[in-house]
Structure 1
Amino acid sequence: MLNFKQIITFAYESEYDSAYDLKKKKQYSTPKIYDAKGDLSKRWYVYFSYRDPQTDKLKRVTPFYGDANKYKTKEDRLQVLTQYRKTLLKFLQQGYSPFEDNSQLHSSLKKKTKKPEVTFNYVNTEIKHVEEVKETSTPQLKEKIETPKINIQEAFGFALNYKKQLVSVTTFRGYKNRIDVFLKWLNKTYPALKTIDELTKKITFEFLNNILENTSARNRNNYRTELSSIIQVLEDNEIIKSNFVKKIPTLKTIPNRNKTYTQETQEAIFNHLEENDKVLLLFIKFISYNLLRPIEVCRLQIKNINIANKTIQFKAKNSPLKTKIIPELLWRELPDLTLFDPDDLLFAGDKIGGKWEAKLNNRRDFYSKRFKKSVKQKFDLGIDYGLYSFRHTYITKLYRALVKESSPFEAKSKLMLITGHLSMSALEKYLRDIDAELPNDYSEMLKNTNE
């Protein structure tokens, strides 16, 4: 006996089609995807209700997970669940019921060897089924219907709406801004180009070369990455045949990085801010002592700080939620946090604790500009020095202090717990990039070699 789960899984893997058999009375609700608001630590599934033959009322059926939760990215998990949902809806339309033995129905449908042709019409980024092709008496058994030409704006609109369900607001904004630039360039450079099938690798290459000429190789590569990600959605949804952007090479670039401060400069900056801007100084100490990134500091709310345990929870670059201790050196500089609303931001512009309606990127830019005006201009610091430099500076200090008392491997193992790097290789690469790991003086070796 085939149970309901086995039938769905089999259909998903074999991907066969058969004719729809819609019932007059609606026996089920349309299947939907539960994505836990993007939380990959929770189960995602497809759910629906079916009319209970005993009560004649719609009853929620056990959710269907399949293999979806084995996938570790939002894109992959949603793609699998989307296929499950389509397959489930098709079987419900054919008459399958979670309350009955579907073996006989399944066998009869499986005997059908001819597959109906279904084309898609994309209008306002919504997918609509076109009527199935009817059989004819001519030698050409089926009428040929051409796939509709999809407008470029509609195709990219569809892909952006898809991405919007998977990524953060900041990431989506980046996608949209770059796609808007691309579409504007297309409209100006190739005004006759209207449908997505007319877009080619050559045209996209020309656009990326234009970005390179006007900005930088790094920015050009960023455009290439995000265009590829968006066009991959179009390939996955069979709007285009292949993602040609993948075949466009990435240019080799020399990444810009923030330099570490010398001991003298760092102390001079702290002394200057102690007298002139204590809010900015505390902001910098969260970067220095807690080794947070500037944007992570901007996210902090009063409720993220556990007063009893002296710990802090925050959304990190490589994790949706990370916990760190607050070192005593920093803890004693914090005000009485019980006086604030838990939902207050820790850093709210010119003050510690309060409401601030500005967007996250704008809050980060506020402190960057404030640092530039208050510190960089006074100390005549170049473009290589910024707020992020304090993180590099203090990780370097920590590593060199740890390696004095233990082996390099032991020092890095302890440092990983403090910095939050997910792997030893990632930490080692970071230490190399900031020149934290330096050899001992090798003069004697050179001297012996010369002799």
Structure 2
Amino acid sequence: MKRKKYMLNNIEKITERRKMAAEIIATVTNRLRSGWNPWADVSNSRQYSKFEDVIGIYTRYLQKLHANKTIKDSTFTDYRKRIRVLSEYNNNRTFPIIYIYQFDLSYMSDFLDYILLDRDASARTRNNYRVWLSSFCTWLTEKQYMDYNPVEKIKSLTEEEKKRCALTHTDLRRLKEYLEENNKYFLLICQMEYYTFIRPEELSNIRLRDINLKEQKVFIASSISKNRKDGMVGLNDVLIKTMLDLHIFDNDTNCYLFSTNFKPGYKKSTTRCFRNYFNKVRNALKFPDTYQFYSLKDSGIRDLANSEGIVIARDQARHTDISTTNKYLKGENMTVHEETKHFNGIL
């Protein structure tokens, strides 16, 4: 509670002074009941909206986007989780905020500290929450619940490198031999990741109709692509042979490429299934934890870049810039052009 004074001693007559005081009291009381705060610096009435109400509107907004396929299932699930964590944080505060204008820079900074310190999250997780907060504040600004995006003043933390590395050539051969004997359908999944660089979420949505066997290419529609753009990638001869050996194309073209037990079917598999089975294989082969399912993409980009050049690897990976492709090439895996070794310079 804070005291705010309205000085009326400039009014000479006591009766007029009391009349003015009564009017001020009535006006201020009504405004306070509607959520007004005499110390709040707001530019419109929307900023007096209740925090919980705005969260509810934002949640319904996301539900509509999800229903219209504007955002992916994973994005929708991720955003809902972050909203839930934010709501729990606010409810557990000694003095939770009530109005959206209280959702300011200091509050957001405290929330990110809560994620990092109280929830013992990594810098990467904290930064992911920061990205989501920025997206949320952009929506709030667009809807005039706030005047600007405060998250722009909050810096990202330096992150540790991802604990993921490409498989060595020896381990790739061991993986192939193991899966040829134990699960040829999952071998096809691993080969798809290694040769096509299709992201796991996209891979789970590929249908047989997306594959052009004659031209050896697969179409990734904008509706399932991460960057929301149509894409086309080449299918290696090894992939075509594996598919034919497994009679993949004997199935209906509307089937997903990977369904139950990683075989074609009408119910798509999930990226979690890919990861969980890969981890079982990793344990069986006593591979290090730094080997993850996505490591197959790292391995494929490394090997294609070293064999055919980084530009070809960039296009196959559907990267907009070579700098993105370079992130998959670490240390000894990075290419050096032979021409640089024998260039006759002036100096």
Question: Post-superposition shift, 1:357?
Answer: 6.0
CA contact (8 A) 2:200 2:271 kept: yes
**C-alpha distance after superposition, 1:12-32 (max 9, x if no partner):** xxxxxxxxxxxxxxxxxxxxx
- Whether 2:252 is the aligned partner of 1:341: answer yes
Question: Post-superposition shift, 1:432?
Answer: 4.0
Structure 1: stretches of 5+ with no match in the other structure? 1-144, 403-410, 442-451
1:366 corresponding residue in structure 2: 273
Question: Post-superposition shift, 1:438?
Answer: 4.7
Question: Post-superposition shift, 1:146?
Answer: 5.9
Question: Post-superposition shift, 1:309?
Answer: 2.5
CA contact (8 A) 1:392 1:434 kept: no
1:40 corresponding residue in structure 2: none
**Could you tell me how far apart the structure 1 residues matched to 2:300 and 2:111 are?**
41
2:317 corresponding residue in structure 1: 419
**C-alpha distance after superposition, 1:199-229 (max 9, x if no partner):** 2322221221111122111101111110121
**Could you tell me how far apart the structure 2 residues matched to 1:146 and 1:237 are?**
12
1:392 corresponding residue in structure 2: 298
**Could you tell me how far apart the structure 1 residues matched to 2:149 and 2:121 are?**
25
Letter in 2 for 1:225: V
With the length of structure 1 as denominator, give the TM-score of the two structures.
0.58
**Could you tell me how far apart the structure 2 residues matched to 1:182 and 1:203 are?**
11
Overall identity of the aligned pairs, in %: 22
CA contact (8 A) 2:256 2:268 kept: no
- Whether 2:131 is the aligned partner of 1:225: answer yes
CA contact (8 A) 1:310 1:325 kept: yes
2:93 corresponding residue in structure 1: 189
SS at structure 1 position matched to 2:333: coil
SS at structure 2 position matched to 1:331: helix
Which of the residues 147, 150, 154 maps onto 1:241? 147
| Residue 232 to residue 151, structure 1, CA distance change in 2 (3 Å) | same
Question: Post-superposition shift, 1:173?
Answer: 2.1
TM alignment of 1:159-308, pairs within 5 A: 159-163=58-62, 164-165=64-65, 166-213=70-117, 214-308=120-214
1:109 corresponding residue in structure 2: none
Question: Post-superposition shift, 1:338?
Answer: 4.2
Q: Which has the higher helix share?
A: 2
CA contact (8 A) 1:299 1:345 kept: yes
**Could you tell me how far apart the structure 2 residues matched to 1:256 and 1:283 are?**
23
| Residue 350 to residue 297, structure 1, CA distance change in 2 (3 Å) | same
| Residue 307 to residue 191, structure 1, CA distance change in 2 (3 Å) | same
Question: Post-superposition shift, 1:433?
Answer: 4.2
Letter in 1 for 2:301: I
Q: Which has the higher strand share?
A: 1
With the length of structure 2 as denominator, give the TM-score of the two structures.
0.74
**Could you tell me how far apart the structure 2 residues matched to 1:198 and 1:280 are?**
51
Question: Post-superposition shift, 1:178?
Answer: 0.2
**Could you tell me how far apart the structure 2 residues matched to 1:301 and 1:266 are?**
26
- Whether 2:267 is the aligned partner of 1:356: answer yes
TM alignment of 1:51-200, pairs within 5 A: 149-163=48-62, 164-165=64-65, 166-200=70-104
1:437 corresponding residue in structure 2: 334
Letter in 2 for 1:371: F
Question: Post-superposition shift, 1:274?
Answer: 0.8
Question: Post-superposition shift, 1:391?
Answer: 1.5
Q: Which has the higher contact order (CA 8 A, sep 6+)?
A: 2
| Residue 148 to residue 258, structure 1, CA distance change in 2 (3 Å) | closer
Letter in 2 for 1:226: W
SS at structure 2 position matched to 1:272: helix
Letter in 2 for 1:416: R
**C-alpha distance after superposition, 1:59-87 (max 9, x if no partner):** xxxxxxxxxxxxxxxxxxxxxxxxxxxxx
**Could you tell me how far apart the structure 2 residues matched to 1:264 and 1:172 are?**
39
SS at structure 2 position matched to 1:193: coil
Letter in 1 for 2:256: L
SS at structure 1 position matched to 2:292: coil
Question: Post-superposition shift, 1:187?
Answer: 0.6
The alignment covers a number of residue pairs equal to 284
**C-alpha distance after superposition, 1:119-138 (max 9, x if no partner):** xxxxxxxxxxxxxxxxxxxx
| Residue 192 to residue 432, structure 1, CA distance change in 2 (3 Å) | closer
CA contact (8 A) 1:371 1:387 kept: yes
SS at structure 1 position matched to 2:264: strand
Question: Post-superposition shift, 1:158?
Answer: 2.3
SS at structure 2 position matched to 1:313: strand
CA contact (8 A) 1:398 1:415 kept: yes
CA contact (8 A) 1:349 1:366 kept: no
**Could you tell me how far apart the structure 2 residues matched to 1:371 and 1:233 are?**
39
**Could you tell me how far apart the structure 2 residues matched to 1:349 and 1:332 are?**
22
